[in-house]
Structure 1
Amino acid sequence: MPGVTFARGERVSLHTVERDDAAFYQRGRNHPDVRGPLGLADPTNLAQSEETVEDWVERDDSANLLVCLPPEDPDADPTPIGTVNAWELDRPRGKVSYWLLPEYHGEGYATEAMTLFLDHLFDARSVRGVQAHVFAHNDSSRALLDRLGFALEGTLRQNNFVEGAYRDEHVYGLLRDEWVGAE
């Protein structure tokens, strides 16, 4: 069950990640349409997902939130559909990632969630900018970063073996002034 509401948009809300959200992480990180674009080769069981939540999500230099749809019934829990994540926030340029379950792709939810998340990062953290790494064949993710104003900063050629081939990995960057000044 998602934790408390951290930020609200028009169609999505961001919620704290709680330990019992490990099953949701397991579901998403094992889905073929999520696993491949994230570069995750091996299956993840529930115990490993619990470790991910404990070790990764609870780090001091990170911010991790569930992307949720609001319930139709005000007494029900929101529906988690993905995550937004940042780490190395103690450095001048932190790193960001995101994923949604495939049934929610193409609806604008990732754009709204990342907009809320970037607003938070640049308002609450002293990072100079953020980076996102995306595989060259992941057209949807590259388009999302373009929409958000990220600039392509470089390519790590054949950087990872993903989905049966060595894949180029693009490095995108967004500076604080580009985000804050664009509002």
Structure 2
Amino acid sequence: MPGPVFLEGEEVTLRPVEPADIEFVQRCMNDARVWRPALDVNPTNYDQCEEFFENVVSGEDGVHCLACDGDEPLGIVALTGSQYGPTETARSRDAELAYWFAPEHHGQGYGSDAAETMVAYAFDDRNLRRVSAQVGSFNDASAGLLESLGFDHEGTLREAAWFRGEYHDVLCYGLLREDWRAER
């Protein structure tokens, strides 16, 4: 059973990730339709998922939520610290948006709703100035999601990702609070 509701979107609720959700996370992270686009090529056993839960999800550097439809877990959406480190995140007031969803929930609008809810939280409740995201150039669905939320393609890391036997670009996206508010 997922934890208490933290944020409500149009279709999903965002809840704290609980120890009982580790099996869901492990199942999804071992599904090629999740780990390949996430560029995470190693299998994940229960102990590793438990360690991820303890060190990352339960850590102070970021907000990790379980996206749910009622009591059904759908995926994870997170705001993590800036690539410049926790001190720089506080100074620059930015975070990186990341998300993944169980394959059976792809293409149903849940990811868009969860990401939009988390971005609104970032700007309205956390007083962030900027949210960024990175996506492999092969992941049209994720790039389209970001663009639908108003993220701008700000740059490209050429051939920075290895996916399915080839090098691919990583697309860097960003959204400023003032642009987010102008579109709402």
**Where do 1:122-141 residues align within 5 Å?**
122-141=123-142
Following TM superposition, by how much is the alpha carbon of 1:126 offset from its aligned partner in structure 2, in angstroms?
Answer: 3.1
Give the Å deviation of 1:7.
Answer: 1.4
Counterpart of 2:68 in structure 1 is 68
What's 1:159 paired with?
Answer: 160
Matched, 1:173 2:166: no
Question: Equivalent residues in 2 for 1:61-100 (5 A)?
Answer: 61-70=61-70, 78-88=71-81, 90=86, 91=89, 92=92, 93-100=94-101
User: How many residues were matched structurally?
Assistant: 176
In structure 2, what is the Cα distance between the partners aligned to 1:64 and 1:178? 24
Give 1:43's aligned amino acid.
Answer: P
Larger mean CA deviation between 145-154 and 171-180 belongs to 171-180
Residue 54 of structure 2 aligns to which amino acid in structure 1?
Answer: E
Unpaired stretches in structure 2, ≥5 consecutive residues: none
User: 1:144 maps to which residue?
Assistant: 145
Give per-residue Cα distances to partners, 1:152-182, cap 9 Å, x unaligned.
Answer: 0111011122222212100000111111232
91-100 or 150-159, larger mean C-alpha shift: 91-100
After the TM superposition, which parts of structure 1 deviate over 3 Å for at least 4 consecutive aligned residues? none
TM-score between both structures, scaled by the size of structure 2: 0.91
CA distance in 2, matches of 1:125, 1:39: 29
CA distance in 1, matches of 2:132, 2:155: 11
SS at match of 1:38: coil
> In the TM superposition, what is the alpha-carbon distance from 1:61 to its structure 2 partner?
2.2
**Secondary structure class of the residue paired with 1:149:** coil
Contact 1:122–1:180 (Cα < 8 Å) also in 2: no
Q: Partner amino acid for 1:57?
A: V
TM-score by length of 1: 0.91
Check whether the contact 1:157–1:169 (CA below 8 A) recurs between aligned residues: yes
In structure 1, C-alpha distance between the alignment counterparts of 2:59 and 2:179, rounded to whole Å: 27
Q: How much has 1:138 moved relative to structure 2? A: 0.4
What CA distance in whole angstroms lies between the structure 2 residues aligned with 1:28 and 1:174?
28
AA of the residue aligned to 2:58: E
Which residue is equivalent to 1:106? Answer: 107
> Partners in 1 of 2:182 and 2:17 — Cα distance?
30
> Does the CA-based 8 Å contact 1:149-1:179 persist in structure 2?
yes
